[in-house]
Structure 1
Amino acid sequence: MHFLPPRNAFLLLSTLLQSVRSSPTPSTHVSISVSPKIQFQEVDGFGASQAFQRAEDIFGKYGLPEVNQTLVLNLLYDENIGAGFTILRNGIGSSNTSTSNLMNSIEPYSPGSPTAKPYYIWDHYNSGQFPLAQQAYDRGLQTLYANAWSAPGFMKTNDDENNGGYLCGVTNEPCSTGGWVQAYANYLVQYVQFYEQSGVKVTHLGFLNEPQFAATYAGMLSNGTQAADVIRVLAKTIKEAGFDIKINCCDGIGWDDQESLMAGLQAGPDPAINYLDTVTGHGYDSAPTYPLSTNKKTWLTEWADLTGDYTPVTFYENGGVGEGMTWANHIQVAMRDAGTSAFLYWIGAENSTTNSALINLLGNEVQPSKRFWAFAQFSKFVRPGAHRIEASSSHSNVTVSSFENQNGKIATQLLNQLDVDVEVGVKVTGVGAGVVVHPYLTNNHHDLEAMASLKTGPGGSFNARVPARSMVSFVTSS
């Protein structure tokens, strides 16, 4: 096992800091200003998915021993031990088989018509996602986002869960079998009901994934008007069923793609946007660098390095797409510039030697990537209910974001993207003298390591050195 959990490194890092402070390495002075009184969006959390049977990887599908299964669960969801992720994105299956990595549908076969009585099946397993949700909730999960990639094939224009196709009955997409919009809404609500009856709450529900992309795997095409058709029916169905659940839409393949759907969601005498809680998009075709055209909360619900290059222990080498610094920057930009309330990677942990997961499970080993630790620098200290607050830097390559938690703790993240150490002078307006500040460091040599604590001086100011090509989170004690 290659992993050593975060530990008290006071003596080691005190020695390191003394060495760094006494070294002749050149440095740059940067001024950081944080203003808690100027607040922006509320934070819902951070997380990932374990869809397409990736949950089974955690539970030993490829030989991971039980002790390391617990380790992975703790790394992902335990706030004290690991990253403390608070959002899990489930895949609502649409397959009538579990071969390969397919996800079983709760309605594997057509009832014959949209109005015929459906035959639902519930196995209390859901491709490993149900027991994972139980374990995640036990460790502090707060949000379970159930998201369908596709309706079952018999509800679609192409009679196939794969290769695109539209939901029968949405605008301009009739089918000889009739309109299946209401039947699809019933199907989604039944999924929620199975979870609720089994003791696990689904908090958010979605019905599309990358609707501009006709993938060879499960997926379904839609424009904004067609998505609106489903939202109105789904909202009514949820209300009639008596569930307290929020609707998400539409998980566009890129931020621009999601923006292109907004007009359809906002159109008409009964705009579907009024029934949504959260607008969701991905980062593949275009990154979340600007706010979407909505006053609803926005989440970045999927993004990953899918190039195949394996960079498990590199925080920074050359700015590669899988490096930790790259993903720390993605998160910071999404939260700061796009105003997102949540940020989810594609897969949390899987048996793989690619960058599609934050944690690689290699046989019986657990190997957190530097991407994982970059996420943890945010998720561990920026908890649900926090608000982003005003923060600025005097240097364009030393970037900053800051959040005030409900308990009053302020978490400020500095990314030093220079190849020299920087001396930072931080001033937190409204914080008095004597407040303890806890710094945590991630770079090529450290994984969320606790550094020697600091204390604020007059006016809430403190000074620190941030190593080259690193990330430091400064967390106040109150």
Structure 2
Amino acid sequence: MRKKHFLSLSVMLFLPGIFRAKAQNTSFTANKTVTVYTTAQNTAYRLAKTATLNFAPKPQPVETEISVFVDPAKTFQSVVGFGGALTDASAETFYKLPKNKQQELLQAYFNADKGIGYTMGRTNIQSCDFSSGSYSYVNEGDAGLKSFSVKHDEQYRIPFIKQVMAAAGGKINLFVTPWSPPAFMKTNHDVLHGGHLLPQYRQAWANFFVKFISTYQKMGIPIWGLSIQNEEMATQTWESCVYTADEERAFIKVLGPTLQKAGYADKKLMAWDHNRDLVYQRASAVLEDLAAAKYVWGIAYHWYETWTGGEPQFVNVRRVHEAFPKTNLMFTEGCGEKFDYSKINDWGLGERYGNDMVNDFNAGTTGWTDWNILLDEKGGPNHVGNYCYSPVIADTKTGELHYTNSFYYLGHFSKFVRPGARRIAASSSRSSLQTTAFINTDGKIAVIVLNLSDQKIAYNLSVSGNAVETSSLPHSISTLIIQ
């Protein structure tokens, strides 16, 4: 009996320690301030510094208070970067601008201090819809690629990419994507209107990728990565090619070894590169085949599943991340469709970007690249009339640049969330405020707060038992930097 009493007493002696509140780690807020940058509708704020705030103790908010909670100790995926597409259309439009406007655009996108600090780019292998016409790098029927030449790209796109690289400090992480193999390699013998890659040309097409990468690199443009095919399940009026899951797996098993043999095993190979609706089905089909999966760095995806009239399917991205946590998720294209010049100032353009970026990163995405970085006053050039919006629109008649609000919404991420940053835990106590947060390699914390409502919302930014009081303007996005 004495032994039992001793054990009970021992447990009781430890009870105060069990129930004592654990001290919160205040190192993330000690001697630090919060600088707020805001873009908001019906104001002049465009990535504008709007407040500098100081933390005060606030260990427990009440339920009537609105709060955004950030826990820097809980880290998730790393960020590879942000960028946009350097298409034929962007390059051609760029060289129609006066020299001073060209420099303005490059600084706006690629200068980390004076601009929004893009570090990534995407470009097309052969023609796409955002080209002035269809073209190929080889003559019809040349499976041996003896006629291979990128002379077409030397007029606009290659010099444009080189200027982009210079503006970005000497390099960008550029990845490349084909819209279609040459016509003779396809079932429909047409670069347009879908069709499939003929099995007998899988090796020739894999060799084509290697030829493109080696040619660009010899011309001073390093290639960071590649995707198999743009929008693999879409039959379009423009350049397109359909890959079923079986066809994509089969091609990866040819392309992967071909890249390795050429010394390009370091290139980041991405599968899918289409919408969120089927992303889990395709990811599972490819990644559960270990003979294909060993060559795949990531799963690329777009945002156009809303063509059905439904909502963005962020949950499908999350499911891929949950099922295949070691595989990178990369957003590779999005834009406002059906261009109308009279609507380039519509606030909804940027809000779509903000909503998608917050939810994509919270679902596990590692990088985010927009579609064309620059288009003209018609939303082109586009050789099939598929005119779209870009964050910056050039009026080639006047030489002026028009920055849509999507440019600033993108900048709230790209300027403050730098390559190597890690997403950290962030949550909001109200659905009217969306949030995500990151800690950079230099220790600076970037918290993004998105307000899609018509209301000004006062809230606390709460970190480690300390908080600052601030507010979110109607239809706004803010980045709060803790440093």
Alpha-carbon deviations, 1:358-402, whole Å to 9, x = none?
111012010110011100011100111111110011111011110
Contact 1:51–1:129, Cα closer than 8 Å, also in 2: yes
User: Counterpart in 2 of 1:325?
Assistant: 351
Determine the structure 1 residue equivalent to 2:95: 59
Give the Cα separation in 1 of the matches to 2:216 and 2:191: 23
Structure scoring higher RCO (CA < 8 A, sep ≥ 6) equals 2
Q: Could you tell me which residue of structure 1 aligns to residue 78 of structure 2? A: 42
Distance in 1, Cα, partners of 2:65 & 2:154: 53
Query: Residue 425 of structure 1 corresponds to which residue in structure 2?
Result: 460
Amino acid at match of 1:476: I
Q: CA deviation at 1:72?
A: 1.0
Specify the code of the residue in structure 2 equivalent to 1:326: R
**Residue 261 (structure 1) aligned with residue 293 (structure 2):** no
Q: 2:145, 2:208 within 8 Å by CA — same for their partners in 1?
A: no
Identity of aligned residues (%): 27
Q: Deviations over 1:291-323 (max 9, x none)?
A: 2253311111111110334433343xxxx4x2x
- For the pair 1:308 / 2:333, whether they are aligned, the reply is no
Counterparts of 2:295 and 2:47 in 1: how far apart (Å)?
47
Matched residue, 2:371: 346
Q: Which residue of 1 aligns with 2:412?
A: 377
Asked whether 1:248 is paired with 2:270, we answer: yes
Contact 1:53 1:128 in 2 (8 A): no
Further displaced range: 206-215 or 291-300: 291-300
Letter aligned with residue 274 of structure 1: K
- 1:409–1:103: structure 2 CA closer, same or farther, 3 Å change rule? farther
- Matched residue type, 1:347: N
Aligned amino acid, residue 34 of structure 1: V
Contact between 2:87 and 2:130, CA under 8 Å: does it hold in 1? no
Whole-Å separation in 2 of the counterparts to 1:241 and 1:413: 42
Which residue among 455, 472, 477 is the counterpart of 1:471?
Answer: 477
* Residue in structure 2 matched with residue 145 of structure 1 by the alignment: 175
Q: Name 1:462's counterpart in structure 2.
A: 468
SS at 1:53 equivalent:
helix
Deviation at 1:9, TM superposition (A): 6.8
Q: Contact (CA 8 Å) 1:288, 1:334: kept in 2 or not?
A: no
More helix by share: 2
**1:71 offset after TM fit, Å?**
0.8
CA shift, 1:251, in A, is 0.9
Structure 2 CA distance for aligned equivalents of residues 208 and 230 of structure 1: 11
* Aligned position for 2:220: 199
Instruction: Tell me the amino acid that sits aligned with residue 158 of structure 1.
Output: N
Shift of 1:31: 1.1
Q: 1:90-136 CA distances to partner (integer Å, 9 max, x unpaired)?
A: 000058xx99613643224322xx4x463211328356332222122
The answer to whether the 8 A contact 1:52-1:127 is kept is no
Secondary structure of the residue aligned to 1:106 is: coil
* Larger radius of gyration between Structure 1 and Structure 2: 2
Cα distance in structure 1, aligned partners of 2:145 and 2:357: 45
1:181, 1:230 within 8 Å by CA — same for their partners in 2?
yes
Say if 2:186 is the partner of 1:164: no
What SS does the corresponding residue of 2:438 show, helix, strand or coil?
A: strand
**Distance across 2 between alignment mates of 1:124 and 1:386:** 38
> Is the Cα–Cα contact under 8 Å of residues 153 and 161 in structure 1 kept in the other structure?
yes
Structure 2 residue aligned with 1:298: 329
Matches within 5 A, 1:1-400: 29-60=65-96, 64-93=97-126, 101-102=132-133, 104-111=135-142, 114=143, 116=144, 118-123=146-151, 125-126=153-154, 128-140=156-168, 141-169=171-199, 179-243=200-264, 244-252=266-274, 254-268=275-289, 270-286=290-306, 287-290=312-315, 291=318, 292=320, 293-295=323-325, 296-309=327-340, 310-315=342-347, 320=348, 322=349, 324-336=350-362, 338-354=363-379, 356-363=389-396, 364-400=399-435
Displacement of 1:235 after TM fit? Answer: 1.2
State how far apart, in whole Å, the 1-side matches of 2:134 and 2:110 are: 23
- Residue 173 of structure 1 aligns with which residue? none
> Post-superposition shift, 1:330?
1.4
Tell me which moved more, 405-414 or 292-301.
Answer: 292-301
**1:432-472 residue CA offsets vs partner (Å, 9 max, x unmatched):** xxxxxxxxxxxxxxxxxxxxxxxxxxx54222222222111
In structure 1, how many angstroms separate the alpha carbons of the residues matched to 2:451 and 2:47?
Answer: 23
2:351 match: secondary structure: helix
One-letter amino acid of the counterpart of residue 86, structure 2: Q
Measured in 2, the distance between the counterparts of 1:470 and 1:182 equals 50
2:479 partner SS: strand
Cα distance in 2 for residues equivalent to 1:346 and 1:120: 27
Q: CA deviation at 1:181?
A: 0.5
How far apart, CA to CA, are the structure 2 residues paired with 1:365 and 1:473?
Answer: 28
Cα displacement (A) at 1:6: 9.1
Q: Unpaired segments of 5 or more residues in structure 2?
A: 1-43, 54-63, 307-311, 380-387
Contact 1:110-1:118 within 8 A present in 2 as well: no
Q: Residue by residue, what CA displacement relative to the aligned partner does 1:202-231 show, whole Å, maximum 9, x if unpaired?
A: 000123111111111111011111111111
Structure 1 residue 410 displacement after superposition: 0.6
Give the Å deviation of 1:348. 1.2
Secondary structure at the residue paired with 2:250? helix
Over 4 Å off, 4+ runs:
5-10
CA distance in 2 between counterparts of 1:267 and 1:464 reads 47
Distance 1:353 1:127 in 2: 22
- For the 8 Å contact 1:94–1:161, the answer to whether it is kept is no
CA distance in 1, matches of 2:187, 2:276: 27
TM-score, scaled relative to structure 2: 0.78
Q: Deviations over 1:123-163 (max 9, x none)?
A: 28356332222122223353101111111111111111111
Q: Normalized against structure 1, the TM-score is what?
A: 0.79
CA distance in 1, matches of 2:72, 2:205: 45
1:434 is aligned to none
Q: Could you tell me how far apart the structure 2 residues matched to 1:325 and 1:121 are?
A: 41
